[in-house]
């Protein structure tokens, strides 16, 4: 009997670790104008009051979390916002869309020369289908009276870090602060949003998936354009620098203190 009880407790703990805490994120599906569907999860503040305005956080996941299960996109980052202390201190509406398995948030071309892989980030007028759906979803969220238009924040890791830079360029007037993690973008687009959005960039110096040089290039471009930007590297982190980023003690305090400028 004792062994059976221990087994039940172990199973319960395993279930907890495997994502049952994600239940607070409501499952939704967004239907785009072109008929595309975008799964997403949304977390409302505890004791949510529809007549009150709250900050909005949009989080773009990495390539490994693509699909249609409306679950995997919560793998990295969701627990940061489910933390009870964070929920009490920073009540916010948090949205995690999920990119389809055959798509990408940003325009990115992977090239190889002499055995070395390079990433190019072309500037295209038409967004990728997934990005197009995110733009429409964002417009819908901003039309909600419960969203404070001066406190809209953007975060993303890896593929989502690349999407963060592109989304900033496509909606430069929207975001008060942004956190691109182990991503990259086109430096030529930096002047569009540099003076509007406070940005903290993070990257692991041992990253051999998305090289830290891509974040460094964006940091230099944003700074040269007069932006409020910080760049922090983690000497011992590989591609999973999001773990160290989420452990930054003042990350949320800094982000939620920012307000939109330059309407």
Q: Please calculate the CA angle 253-92-229 and round it to the nearest 5 degrees.
A: 40
- The pLDDT of residue 4 is above 80: no
pLDDT at position 8: 44
The whole-number average pLDDT for the span 20-38 is 90
pLDDT at position 14: 43
- Give the DSSP letter of residue 45: P
pLDDT at position 42: 98
- The pLDDT of residue 147 is above 50: yes
| Residue 201: CA count within 13 A, CB half-sphere | 29
Confidence of residue 7 (pLDDT cuts 50, 70, 90): very low
16 or 79, which is more confident:
79
- pLDDT mean across residues, the chain: 92
Q: Which of 88, 118, 122 is nearest to 106 (CA)?
A: 122
């Amino acid at each position: 009997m004792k062994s059976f009880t221990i087994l039940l407790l172990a199973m319960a703990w395993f279930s907890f670790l495997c994502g049952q805490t994600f239940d607070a994120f409501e499952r939704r599906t967004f239907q785009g104008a072109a008929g595309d569907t975008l799964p997403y999860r949304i977390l409302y503040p505890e004791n949510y009051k529809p007549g009150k305005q709250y900050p909005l956080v949009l989080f773009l996941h990495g390539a490994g979390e693509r699909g249609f299960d409306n679950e995997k996109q919560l793998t990295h980052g969701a627990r940061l916002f489910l933390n009870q202390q964070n929920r009490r201190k920073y009540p916010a509406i948090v949205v995690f869309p999920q990119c389809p398995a055959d798509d990408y948030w940003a325009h990115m071309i992977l090239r190889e020369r002499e055995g070395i892989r390079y990433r190019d980030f072309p500037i295209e007028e038409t967004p990728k289908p997934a990005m197009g759906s995110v733009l429409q979803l964002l417009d819908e969220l901003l039309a909600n009276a419960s969203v404070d238009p001066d406190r809209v924040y953007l975060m993303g890791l890896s593929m989502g870090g690349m999407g963060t830079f592109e989304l900033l360029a496509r909606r430069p007037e929207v975001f008060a602060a942004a956190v691109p993690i182990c991503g990259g973008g086109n430096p030529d687009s930096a002047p569009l949003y540099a003076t509007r959005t406070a940005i903290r960039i993070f990257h692991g110096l041992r990253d051999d998936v998305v090289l830290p040089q891509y974040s460094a290039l964006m940091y230099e471009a944003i700074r040269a354009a007069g932006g409020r930007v910080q760049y922090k590297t983690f000497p011992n982190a590989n591609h999973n620098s999001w773990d160290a980023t989420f452990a930054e003690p003042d990350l949320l305090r800094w982000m939620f203190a920012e307000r939109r400028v330059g309407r």
